[in-house]
Amino acid sequence: MSSKVILRPNYFAKSIKSNGIVAPYLMTRSLIRNFHDTPNKQNTTLGNLNFPPQNHSTNTTSVTTETIKPLSHTKSKLASNIQTEYLKDFNNSEIFSNFVIGLCTLNKPILNFCIKVFPYVPIPIIKALVYKIYCGGETIEQVKQAGKRLSERGINNMMISLTIEACEGNDNVDPKYIVDETVRSVKEILVPHTLKIIKESGKDINSIPPGYVALKPTGFAEDAARVLKHFNKDNESAKKFEELVEKAAIVCQTIYDANKQLSIEYPQRTAPFVVGVIDAEKHDLQEGVYELQRRLYAKFNKLNEPISVVGTLQMYLSQSADLLSLEESLAKENNYRLGLKLVRGAYIHSEKNRPSIIHKSKEDTDANYNQGISYVIDSILENKSNEKTIGHLVVASHNGESMKLATTKLYNSTNKDNKNKNNVVLGQLLGMADSITYNLIKNYKVDNVIKYVPWGPPLETKEYLLRRLEENGDAVKNDNGFPLVKASISVLFRRLFGLA
């Protein structure tokens, strides 16, 4: 099968200018299955979910919409306990870092001040104060230890990312180094870690989520921002784009080969063992990223085989519903399978032309996100083999209600014996939404939880850390500020006086 995706004429009649970017426009929507228009998959909300009680396939926990506890914080005693309890799994240094983040997010003026001065803070101070809770380390050996620490917290796998990017024109990017280190991280971190968890957890082999490696498109080429923007506009950019695709394909080939070999050794597993995830970039680079994803889908997500490549859709974009429908249609037309990571959108604070490209309100974004994950989960669960077009989903969210929705849809009596539910994984960023992660694992005995673990030189990951600081005051504000300061002091105090 060719690695190039052929966009056939019956899907596109023209291209239009959309927000300054050439974007495909679907003329005949009747050809496309849209999750907003599909019977029984529209308007899925927490209020109209109604699943009967069912015992979890790997434990005795019953998960229903009536009995499931809040996954997001409220003023209840339960939520307060969860907020304190999850910190007990951290060491003193990590708790101190959480205390610092709490201070930085006490209120909006303090947060804005911290965001403004952050670019000027020396690297040694960043490493001492916050680096350790958001990043897995600087070396492969340190990332291995981070994975071990996560497993001690009941987090069975992770999505690692060598966070060196060039969305703003980073001249220090060495694509060959990134390819070599990423391949090495798959072989030396993800595969051994996943097999170790499978062998030592005592759980069913299909309950352990895959190991993921996130691939930053802007790390696979010099002058990557220009290449992704102009990949189809001039010969030089087109040539460099082909080189970018080839470099990403080297990593994905390593992943595909590992899955083929391990599936022979463990034929009872339905989910992949390792997965490559194409990270999203800023909106003005996304047309090139979508093309990259489609090339990799076509080459590595073969019919009747587990997914090896997952692409990212940012659901805060107003066109994301149409894009999801488009991606499914292209996969069917070109005979490959589709893996997806659905995020709300990591670049919302830095996007240009925000009013013209994102949803009008947070409520619209939340509704779009929940409808998107509902549609994809339903699609995956429709078939109990690897025949389905949509074959894998990472629900990447810090929103407790979205986690509740996904968990409730997966664990009910209808899906008791549906092994394809193991192709849906819940993910949060390292250092964020830890109370939600804790609640999923401890109170609902959910195994399909991972953490996104960036790693690399602190200087190169500084832009990533800045985005995390922005999000800490926004997307998961209930976990931060004074509640986090109070909880951190409480745990440290109890340890100091031997009360813990």
Q: Which of 171, 270, 299, 277 is nearest to 217 (CA)?
A: 277
Higher pLDDT, 386 or 17: 386
pLDDT, position 173: 75
Domains and CATH numbers, the chain: 12-67+136-457 (3.20.20.220), 77-135+467-500 (no CATH)
Least confident of 27-41, 347-361, 362-376: 27-41
pLDDT at 496 over 70: yes
With 0-12 / 13-18 / 19 or more C-beta atoms within 10 angstroms meaning exposed / middle / buried, residue 255 is buried
Beta pairing class for 211-215 and 274-278: parallel
pLDDT at 275 over 70: yes
pLDDT at 33 over 60: no
pLDDT at 186 over 80: yes
Least confident of 69-78, 280-289, 379-388: 69-78
pLDDT band at 353, cuts 50/70/90?
A: low
Torsion of CA 365, 133, 215, 252, to 10 degrees: -120
State the Rg of the chain over Cα: 22
pLDDT, position 478: 52
pLDDT, position 72: 46
- Read off the pLDDT of each residue in 437-443 and give the average, rounded to a whole number: 89
pLDDT at 226 over 60: yes
C-alpha angle 322-346-484 in degrees, rounded to nearest 5 = 135
The token pair that represents 329 in the structure block:
């249609």
Torsion of CA 373, 376, 381, 387, to 10 degrees: -160
Strand partners, 339: 392
pLDDT, position 8: 36
Least confident of 166-180, 205-219, 412-426, 480-494: 166-180
- Read off the pLDDT of each residue in 315-343 and give the average, rounded to a whole number: 94
pLDDT band at 389, cuts 50/70/90?
A: very high
- Read off the pLDDT of each residue in 48-76 and give the average, rounded to a whole number: 41
pLDDT at 499 over 50: yes
Higher pLDDT, 53 or 313: 313
pLDDT, position 60: 36
d(CA 263, CA 293): 24
pLDDT, position 419: 82
pLDDT band at 79, cuts 50/70/90?
A: very low
d(CA 200, CA 197): 5
For residue 479, the number of C-alpha atoms closer than 13 Å in the C-beta half-sphere is 25
pLDDT, position 154: 93
Strand partners, 338: 390
What is the maximum alpha-carbon separation in the chain? 71
Higher pLDDT, 500 or 53: 500
pLDDT, position 337: 96
Instruction: Give residues with Cβ within 8 angstroms of 149, minimum separation 6.
Output: none
pLDDT, position 181: 95
pLDDT at 430 over 80: yes
- Read off the pLDDT of each residue in 470-478 and give the average, rounded to a whole number: 55
3-class secondary-structure state, position 452: strand
Instruction: Give residues with Cβ within 8 angstroms of 478, minimum separation 6.
Output: 72, 73
Q: Write down the mean pLDDT value for the chain.
A: 80
Higher pLDDT, 86 or 277: 277
pLDDT at 108 over 50: yes
pLDDT band at 32, cuts 50/70/90?
A: very low
pLDDT, position 83: 58
pLDDT, position 248: 97
pLDDT at 293 over 50: yes
